[in-house]
Amino acid sequence: MVQVKIPIGPQHPALKEPENFMITLEGERVIDVDIRIGYTHRGIEKLMESRTYIQNLYLVERICGICSFAHSANYVQNVEEILDVHIPKRAEYIRTLFLELERLHSHFLWIGVAGHEIGFDTLFMYTWQDREVVQDLLEMISGNRVNYAMNTIGGVRRDVSEEQKKKILEAMDFLEKRTEFYKNVAVNETTILARAEGVGILKPDIAKKFTAVGPTARASGISVDIRRDDPYASYAEIPFDVITTDTCDVLGRVVVRVLEIFESIKIIRYLMDHLPEGDLKIKTSRKVPEGEAVNHVEAPRGEDFHYLHANGTDKPERYKVRTPTMANLPAIAEMLKDSYLADVPIVVAAIDPCMGCMDRVLLLQQNKENYRNSISWDQLRRYGIQWYAKRGGY
């Protein structure tokens, strides 16, 4: 049979972020997938080398709009490890609270996106409405809906009052009820079953081989969770379960995330009931001694990995980020092979990809003559026409 190559993306393939999938088809079947990333490379790692540790706090948060707290928590953990400081218990608990609130809103968001991809927009409307409840909590405590600016080196910047605690617990009761409803929808609704069951199969051995992380790996029956395996913040003290399923398909990924919402609610209740008294932060030096630290946290999408090399000044020597989407990318290619073209969007969406996170660098040009960061509309138009003309277009 004739093989046909079709490009999906880079303009918004299945989701509102740029990435290019070159798909080779035989009829309706996907034979091969080639993935091209880098469309939103912003140069954050390079930029961090020229900023102080305090300035970098706010830069690191902007790696990703959804899991911004996972990134900033990871960053401060690295800096604190080299500084050899231990933050107050209360600050640890508040960090954990934010990590879990972030997981809640991210998972609600994802369930909505998954619904949207399979043409089930009612689910999308419902979950995004419920997500607003979490966003309101985040705004109530931090003042921001996204990029909360809560972390600082040596602790957190804002406290949780008694009144806020009450509101958080009320919201958890509400969200628990809603999640019961989604759990029911996920396993009984025929639209979801028809589009998600048996789709995007990722067998455990393949998932391990290609290092899938987070809910993607857990839906293939692999019990990995950094919160349990290498506890950070206050996870070592908190009882919670690691959710896995063994269906290895998109439906499994839905189920894992829905059940993880219950775990997050459980963790948040525990945190609110046991919130210790004490300071919010300790003073640390602005300069960080020479040293190296590696930390990973369980972001909503999986293992988020940060590396810091400090050189004794107030700026990092090298900072490296590996986001969960990057780790899951080789697994996507495996999941798509031998699936139907129509299933591509939902399979891609099922890892909860975040391209902005993954790319991280801005187009910087070394020669001033070629500096193209600001370009007029006319120039851009001419450039576009020439680009296509050179490649045999009109």
Partner 1 sequence: MTYTEASLKEALEKKLQDISVDILVKRSKRIIITTSRENLKKIAKLLFEEFSSQHLSTITARDTGTSFEVQYHFIIDTIMVTIKITCPRDDPTVDSIVSLFPSAILYEREIHDLLGIIPLNHPDLRRLVLPDHWSEGFPLRKDWKPAGGET
Residues engaged in binding partner 1 (CB under 8 A):
37-38, 41, 43, 45-47, 50, 81, 208-211, 229-230, 294, 296, 303, 305, 307, 309, 317-318, 320, 322, 326-327, 329-330, 359-368, 370-371, 373
Q: Considering the complex, state which of residue 367 and residue 376 has its C-beta at the smaller distance from partner 1.
A: 367
Q: Considering the complex, state which of residue 198 and residue 291 has its C-beta at the smaller distance from partner 1.
A: 291
Q: Considering the complex, state which of residue 362 and residue 389 has its C-beta at the smaller distance from partner 1.
A: 362
Taking the C-alpha atoms of residue 152 and residue 145, their distance in angstroms, rounded to an integer, is 18
Which two structure tokens, joined as six digits, stand for 293?
């630290």
Burial label, 269 (beta-carbon count in 10 A; 0-12, 13-18, 19+): middle
Shortest Å, Cβ 384 to partner 1: 14
Q: Considering the complex, state which of residue 158 and residue 315 has its C-beta at the smaller distance from partner 1.
A: 315
Burial label, 123 (beta-carbon count in 10 A; 0-12, 13-18, 19+): buried
Backbone angles phi, psi at 45, to 5 degrees: -65, -40
Q: Is the peptide bond before 324 cis (omega within 30 degrees of 0)?
A: no
Shortest Å, Cβ 61 to partner 1: 18
Shortest Å, Cβ 371 to partner 1: 5
Shortest Å, Cβ 310 to partner 1: 12
Q: Considering the complex, state which of residue 92 and residue 130 has its C-beta at the smaller distance from partner 1.
A: 92
**Residue corresponding to tokens 């187009």:** 363
Shortest Å, Cβ 262 to partner 1: 24
Q: Considering the complex, state which of residue 172 and residue 354 has its C-beta at the smaller distance from partner 1.
A: 354
Residues near 363 by beta carbon (within 8 Å), at least 6 away in sequence? 41, 43, 372, 373
Shortest Å, Cβ 89 to partner 1: 19
Which residue type does 14 have? A
In sequence order, what E strands does the chain have? 3-8, 20-26, 29-36, 42-43, 151-152, 155-156, 291-299, 302-310, 316-322, 361
